[in-house]
Structures are given as structure tokens and as C-alpha cells.
């Protein structure tokens, strides 16, 4: 059973930065793509970014491209989301997830989820 634990969320002013971390259990971490999703109140869970198992491929949602950077450390079983130039519309609960296969761009491509971490961006 894979366990994913996010951390690093908080309250930040618009224009600021946060770095989210996700710690994963298991010995096959590098075999799977890892993604970040977010869900704002009253909205669906949206794709943010994904990184392949060997970190050779990344994809980003258009809304975060150029501001967010996903990375991973396969030795420490960690995945990160560096968020810069934050906007109030980035406010959401951010979830780390492990892809079932490939580098999925939708939540149905992921079989394991963390509990989420709240990010709030004030204007």
C-alpha cells in the first residue's frame, strides 16, 4: 500500500512563493509518474503538473506554466512543487498522487492520493 503525505502549504500573499513536498512510501517510487492536483471550494479537482518516473518528462496546466515547477528525488522518495508568483486563484487544497500508468493528465489516471495540503493566497 502506497502512502503519500503532503506538506508545505500555508498562507501567502499574492506574488509570493511556496514549496510543497510529498513523501511517498514504497520501494518502487521511481517506477511511477507523480502528479499534483488542486481543488478549490465548490470546484472539481484539477490537474496541475506531472513528472515521469525518471524525471525526464513534465507537463503543466496552462494556468501554472512558467510559475510552477515539479521535481522529484527518487533516492528520498519525494516529489516537490515549487510555486512562484502565486495568485489568489491558486488558492486550493493541493494533492499529491501516484499515476497508475503513464503520465496522466486527469485524476482518473491516478490510483493513490495524499490527504492534501491547503494553500491560501491573499490579495
Encode pLDDT of 85-111 as tens digits.
Answer: 999 999 999 999 999 988 889 999 999
Q: How many helices (H) and strands (E) does the chain have?
A: 0, 11
* Contact present, 81 and 94 (Cβ < 8 Å): yes
What pLDDT is recorded for position 101?
84
- Average pLDDT for residues 43-63, to the nearest whole number? 96
What pLDDT is recorded for position 26?
83
Question: 46: closest CA among 24, 64, 32?
Answer: 64
Residue 84 has pLDDT above 90, yes or no: yes
Residue 42 has pLDDT above 90, yes or no: yes
Residue 21 has pLDDT above 90, yes or no: yes
Query: What's the length of the chain?
Result: 123
10-13 and 117-122 beta bridge pairing = parallel
What pLDDT is recorded for position 34?
97
What pLDDT is recorded for position 1?
81
Amino acid at each position: 500500500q502506497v502512502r503519500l503525505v503532503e506538506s508545505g502549504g500555508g498562507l501567502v500573499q499574492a506574488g509570493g512563493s511556496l514549496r510543497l513536498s510529498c513523501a511517498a512510501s514504497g520501494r518502487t517510487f521511481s517506477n511511477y509518474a507523480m502528479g499534483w492536483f488542486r481543488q478549490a471550494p465548490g470546484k472539481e479537482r484539477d490537474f496541475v503538473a506531472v513528472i515521469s518516473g525518471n524525471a525526464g518528462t513534465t507537463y503543466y496546466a496552462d494556468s501554472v506554466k512558467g510559475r510552477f515547477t515539479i521535481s522529484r528525488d527518487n533516492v528520498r522518495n519525494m516529489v516537490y512543487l515549487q510555486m512562484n508568483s502565486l495568485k489568489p486563484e491558486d488558492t486550493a487544497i493541493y494533492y499529491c498522487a501516484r499515476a497508475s500508468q503513464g503520465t496522466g493528465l486527469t485524476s482518473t489516471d491516478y490510483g493513490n492520493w495524499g490527504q492534501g495540503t491547503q494553500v491560501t493566497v491573499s490579495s
